[in-house]
Amino acid sequence: MFHVPCSMKITWAGQSCFHISLSNGKDHSADVVIDPFGEIGLKMPNFSADILLVSHGHADHNETKAIKGTPFLIENPGEYEVKGVFVQGIDSFHDNVQGKERGKNTIYLIEAEDMRLCHLGDFGQQELTDEQLEKIGKVDILMIPVGGTFTIDGHEAAKVIGQIEPKVVIPMHYGLPKLKVQLEGVEKFLKAMGKSSVVPQEKFTMKAGALPKDGAMEIVVLQP
For 27-62, what is each residue's pLDDT tens digit? Answer: 668 999 999 998 888 889 899 999 999 997 666 667
pLDDT at 101: 60
Torsion of CA 161, 99, 87, 211, to 10 degrees: -10
What backbone torsions phi and psi does residue 223 show, to the nearest 5 degrees? -115, 135
Class for the domain spanning 7-195: alpha beta
Considering the chain, what percentage of its residues have pLDDT values greater than 90?
Answer: 58
Q: Region 173-184: what's the mean pLDDT?
A: 90
Residue 89 exposed, middle or buried by CB count within 10 Å (0-12, 13-18, 19+)? buried
Residue 192 exposed, middle or buried by CB count within 10 Å (0-12, 13-18, 19+)? middle
Q: Alpha-carbon distance 93 to 102, whole Å?
A: 8
Q: Alpha-carbon distance 131 to 148, whole Å?
A: 24
What backbone torsions phi and psi does residue 177 show, to the nearest 5 degrees? -50, -40
